[in-house]
């Protein structure tokens, strides 16, 4: 037993060990017993076994030496049989499990189920976050879950749900690799969240409830960056177009990294097939180029496959740690606060020249479509000019009049490997039907950077809008945001009622939800307190109204969350 501000009790039997903790000896012992006998049936069997135990036989008392006497000593009268002693537990007495109101237990279980649902709903946005953002959200989830296990000690169903949450977060951490998260370990203590957040305090939390409150109160401080970052914690520059087909670049990076470090959707391998010091320089250079490409496509892949992007980046972070000093530039490009230099941006023709190229490509397309026949050589020359003037989704729209010939074209007809990859990507885009919007002749400067991060998700918005247009929506955030409200209404055709998360207003909106005043309830969980989330989730569930978590509520995140809720096939 160990005591220092709290008490630890270790029960050890052969290879089995149980470590219990609590504010005092009895609580620590109860915690250990709960782990030893987690179910009610196991506990009853233990009690029956303990009640059948007998005290070990006591050794007979040493005989009294006889007195020196010549008188015979009469035999003592027969002693009465001693009363059998009541059996006692080898542990101090019988431990009574605390009992809790059924309604309180049911509400706690419901809240833990909501945490699990929140983790699942957040996976796409979570995968796009920087490692520090991921760790802060993990700490918030696990500390809140452990606070219920602490509050309802001995409630097996509560314990099982908390362990499910810890298991889910542990699997995510192995895939996304944000770094060590001590609070997920079985022997974690509440005070660890302070160092995990990189903060200092004179009053470290002593309970998990205090730990969760600490995380919520200091989350903004922990996420503060020395450079401007976006909603996901990255300092990337905005781009008008990706450096290539995002899915193609992602698949290439995934294949290259998996060839060295195993499947990115599985936990990292214990050992690399090829030791880090033996990897050739060419392979290291390729890893660096893939890291650069992954940074550049993050905004564009967000609408397509964010979870794969996060897994590939996570494995790359893991691999960078194994490479050590062999590839310091890789760690630099994996640093979310590193701003890619301007020279990484593509240099090329001016905006006027690009518009002229696009006009020439359209004219050539029209000529091919009008021709009775043309050979593959002419088609390859046209595609090469089209790829120079447009991104792949735009080319997919451009070639619709001659699509049968494009579908039949083999990539190996191109001598240039880059063009073979572009044609493979074009075939993929055509199969999925993800057509881009061709720029008109009156479009403005194509080289001008844009701050609208939601443009890459235009095709997803187009899929979701017909299913939600005109729907009445309650949108809950922590503050008024008229610009965001207008964007969502314009892009998705929603009829939005805004709620700033004030407790009194939320209660009034719960009554509106019960009257079925809304078709959807959207909550920006990236800004909102967990208790508000729980209140609204229960109200929406009771009225059978879809409840959708939309991270920070940006149009792309909202479209992606609604697509997932509606079962739209292309949702990430």
For 96, the enclosing helix (H) or strand (E) is none
CA 517 from chain centre, in angstroms, equals 32
Angstrom CA distances, 81 to 62, 64, 233, stand at 19, 20, 80
pLDDT at 445: 38
Question: Which phi and psi (to 5°) does residue 278 adopt?
Answer: -100, -5
Span of 24-38, 123-137, 318-332 with lowest mean pLDDT = 24-38
Residue 67 has pLDDT above 50, yes or no: no
pLDDT at 447: 37
Q: Which two tokens stand for residue 128?
A: 């796009």
Residue corresponding to tokens 């019960």: 514
3-state class (DSSP) for residue 330 = helix
How many other C-beta atoms are found inside a 10 Å radius of the C-beta of residue 68?
A: 5
Q: Which residues pair with 473 in a beta bridge?
A: 496, 520
Q: Which residues pair with 10 in a beta bridge?
A: 19
Which residues fall within 8 angstroms of residue 375, CB to CB, at 6 or more apart?
none
Burial state string for 239-255 with b = 16 or more CB within 10 A and e = fewer than 16: bebbbbbbbbbbbbbbe
Mean pLDDT across the chain, nearest whole number?
82
More confident residue, 330 or 527: 330
Q: Which two tokens stand for residue 475?
A: 């949108």
Cα gap 453→465, rounded to integer Å: 18
Q: Which among 324, 316, 334 has a CA at the least distance from the CA of 259? A: 316
Cα gap 350→360, rounded to integer Å: 15
- Residues 121-144 pLDDT 10s: 999 999 999 999 999 999 999 999
Residue 505 has pLDDT above 60, yes or no: yes
Q: What is the pTM assigned to this prediction? A: 0.65
3-state class (DSSP) for residue 217 = helix
More confident residue, 69 or 97: 97
Residue corresponding to tokens 């760690």: 331
Angstrom CA distances, 195 to 143, 169, 441, stand at 14, 19, 56
Q: Which two tokens stand for residue 470?
A: 């005109």
Most confidently modeled of 3-12, 31-40, 113-122, 401-410? 113-122
- Residues 434-472 pLDDT 10s: 676 666 554 443 333 344 444 567 788 888 999 999 999
Residue 279 has pLDDT above 70, yes or no: yes
Q: Which among 296, 222, 209, 211 has a CA at the least distance from the CA of 252? A: 296
């Amino acid at each position: 037993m160990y005591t220092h501000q709290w008490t630890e009790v270790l029960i050890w039997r052969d290879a089995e060990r149980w470590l219990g903790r609590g504010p005092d000896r009895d609580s620590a012992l109860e915690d250990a017993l709960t782990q030893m006998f987690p179910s009610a049936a196991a506990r009853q069997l233990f009690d029956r076994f303990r009640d059948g135990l007998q005290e070990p036989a006591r050794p007979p008392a040493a005989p009294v030496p006889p007195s020196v006497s010549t008188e015979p000593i009469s035999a003592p009268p027969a002693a009465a049989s001693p009363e059998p002693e009541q059996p006692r537990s080898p542990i101090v007495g019988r431990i009574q499990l605390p009992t809790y109101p059924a309604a309180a237990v049911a509400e706690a279980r419901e809240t833990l189920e909501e945490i699990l649902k929140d983790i699942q709903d957040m996976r796409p946005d979570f995968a796009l976050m920087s490692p520090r953002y991921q760790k802060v959200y993990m700490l918030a989830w696990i500390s809140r879950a452990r606070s219920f296990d602490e509050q309802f000690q001995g409630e097996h169903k509560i314990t099982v749900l908390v362990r499910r949450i810890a298991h889910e977060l542990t699997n995510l951490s192995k895939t996304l690799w944000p770094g060590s998260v001590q609070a997920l370990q079985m022997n974690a203590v509440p005070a660890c969240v302070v160092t995990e957040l990189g903060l200092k305090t004179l009053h470290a939390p002593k309970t998990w409830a205090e730990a969760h409150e600490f995380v919520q109160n200091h989350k903004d401080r922990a996420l503060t960056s020395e450079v401007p970052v976006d909603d996901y914690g990255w300092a990337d520059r905005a781009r008008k177009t990706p450096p290539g087909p995002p899915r193609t670049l992602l698949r290439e990076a995934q294949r290259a990294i998996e060839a060295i470090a195993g499947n990115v959707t599985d936990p990292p391998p214990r050992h690399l097939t090829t030791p880090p010091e033996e990897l050739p320089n060419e392979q290291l250079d390729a890893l660096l180029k893939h890291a650069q490409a992954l940074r550049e496509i993050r905004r564009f892949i967000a609408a397509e496959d964010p979870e794969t992007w996060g897994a590939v980046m996570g494995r790359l972070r893991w691999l960078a740690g194994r490479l050590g000093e062999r590839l310091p530039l890789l760690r630099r490009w994996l640093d979310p606060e590193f701003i890619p230099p301007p020279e990484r941006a593509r240099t090329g023709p001016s905006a006027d020249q690009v518009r002229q190229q696009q006009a020439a490509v359209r004219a050539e397309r029209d000529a091919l479509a009008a021709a009775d026949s043309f050979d593959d050589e002419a088609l390859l020359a046209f595609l090469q000019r089209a790829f120079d003037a447009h991104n792949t989704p735009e080319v997919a729209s451009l070639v619709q009049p001659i699509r049968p010939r494009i579908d039949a074209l083999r990539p190996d007809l191109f001598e240039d490997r880059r063009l073979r990859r572009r044609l493979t990507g074009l075939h993929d885009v055509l199969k999925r039907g993800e057509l881009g919007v061709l720029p008109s002749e009156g479009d403005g400067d194509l080289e001008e950077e844009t701050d609208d991060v939601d443009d890459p998700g235009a095709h997803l918005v187009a899929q979701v809008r017909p299913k939600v247009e005109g729907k009445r929506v309650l949108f809950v955030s922590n503050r008024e945001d008229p610009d965001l409200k207008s964007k969502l209404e314009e892009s998705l055709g929603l009829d939005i009622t805004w709620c700033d998360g004030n407790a009194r207003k939320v209660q009034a909106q719960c009554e509106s939800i019960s009257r079925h005043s809304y078709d959807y309830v959207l909550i920006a969980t990236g800004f909102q307190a967990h208790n508000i989330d729980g209140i609204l989730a229960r109200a929406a569930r009771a009225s059978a109204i879809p409840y959708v978590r939309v991270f920070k509520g940006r149009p792309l995140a909202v479209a992606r969350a609604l697509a997932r809720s509606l079962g739209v096939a292309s949702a990430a």
